[in-house]
């Protein structure tokens, strides 16, 4: 696995007619071009799409530009590791074989340059989120996925888009964010005591770079408002904000 490592999460790409699509798409394209110039490895920590469901012989054409950007990046020699999120769990061989180097349905652990990473989309960890964990178990089951693929793709995407938009709660209160951060900090303590140096999460739409004991908790923010990404140069892990004038 080549250095540096880049980590992004929660892009939530939608239909090209959405108001923020042009900005997000352009920022992503420039970010991918930057990675192409530096080399390294890209980790996508889930929710690249606001809704993605891949059928055996059908993929959504509205993401053609993104497919092309990632395919081009992969062919420059950059590894693309994709940890599936709660909005884009239902991929098949097009994403797995054509677009990414490796796709993961569970959390990822790795060791590089003497540092141990625990990498997760992050959903399902909140102690009070019992209903969500049950829902996640159902909608990510093989039976649900097989049944949903029996629905015509046009209808399936209308249902999925509607459910995805209905469930949006990205603008949380300060109190809620603090409660989440406290829980994730507790999780970070646990992982670090298990021997990990870094816990890297998405999902929570917070941009957090926090030292925990002798390690670090990174919550990656999103590419809706923060445009933040994790960066590991081989020695240190940092949370950075993507700006055009920061490119080197």
Cα distances (angstroms) measured from residue 202 to each of 75, 122, 148: 26, 6, 26
Domain that holds residue 12: 5-246
pLDDT by position in tens, the chain (length 248): 899 999 999 998 875 556 677 778 888 999 999 999 999 999 999 999 988 899 988 888 888 989 999 999 999 999 999 999 888 889 999 999 999 999 999 999 999 999 999 999 999 899 888 888 888 889 889 999 999 999 998 898 888 877 776 556 567 788 988 999 999 999 999 999 999 999 999 999 999 999 999 999 999 999 988 999 999 999 999 999 997 645 54
- SS3 category, 41: strand
Of 97, 73, 35, 91, the C-alpha closest to 232 is 35
CATH number where 18 lies: 3.60.21.10
**What local confidence, expressed as pLDDT, does residue 248 receive?**
45
Specify the pTM.
0.91
**pLDDT at residue 160, as a whole number:** 81
Give the Cβ contact number of residue 232 at 10 Å. Answer: 23
Q: Looking at residue 172, what is its pLDDT?
A: 75
Query: 105-114 long-range CB contacts below 8 Å, 24 or more apart?
Result: 105/140, 107/83, 108/43, 108/81, 108/83, 109/196, 110/1, 112/1, 112/3, 112/5, 112/232, 112/234, 113/3, 113/234, 113/235
- Sign of the Cα torsion 185, 187, 189, 192 reads negative
Closest to 219 in 3D by CA, of 17, 64, 10, 27: 10
d(CA 124, CA 187) in angstroms, rounded, equals 12
* pLDDT attached to residue 47: 92
Structural domains counted in the chain? 1
Q: Dump the DSSP string for 59-101.
A: --GGGHHHHHHHHHHHHTT-EEEEE--SSS-B--HIIIIII-S
- Give the pLDDT of residue 76: 95
Query: What pLDDT shows up at residue 169?
Result: 56
């Amino acid at each position: 696995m080549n250095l540096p490592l880049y980590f992004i999460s929660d892009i939530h790409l939608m239909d090209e007619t959405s108001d923020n699509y042009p900005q997000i798409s352009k920022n992503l394209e420039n970010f991918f071009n930057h990675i192409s110039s530096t080399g390294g490895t890209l980790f996508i920590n889930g929710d690249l799409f606001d809704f993605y469901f891949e059928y055996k012989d059908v993929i959504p054409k509205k993401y053609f530009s993104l497919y092309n950007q990632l395919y081009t990046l992969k062919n420059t020699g950059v590894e693309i590791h994709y940890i599936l999120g709660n909005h884009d769990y239902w991929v098949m061989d097009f994403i797995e074989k054509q677009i990414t180097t490796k796709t993961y349905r569970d959390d990822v652990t790795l060791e590089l340059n003497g540092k141990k990473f625990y990498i997760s989309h992050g959903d399902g960890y909140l102690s009070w989120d019992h209903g969500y964990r049950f829902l996640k178990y159902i909608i990510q089951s093989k039976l649900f996925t097989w049944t949903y693929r029996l629905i015509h793709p046009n209808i399936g995407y209308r249902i999925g888009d509607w459910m995805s938009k209905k469930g949006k709660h990205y603008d949380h209160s300060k109190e809620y964010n603090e409660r989440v951060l406290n829980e994730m900090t507790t999780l970070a303590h646990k992982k670090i005591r298990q021997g990990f140096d870094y816990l890297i999460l998405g999902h929570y739409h917070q941009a957090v770079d926090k030292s925990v004991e002798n390690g670090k908790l990174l919550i990656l923010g999103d590419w809706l408002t923060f445009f933040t990404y994790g960066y590991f140069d081989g020695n240190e892990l940092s949370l950075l904000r993507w700006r055009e004038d920061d490119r080197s």
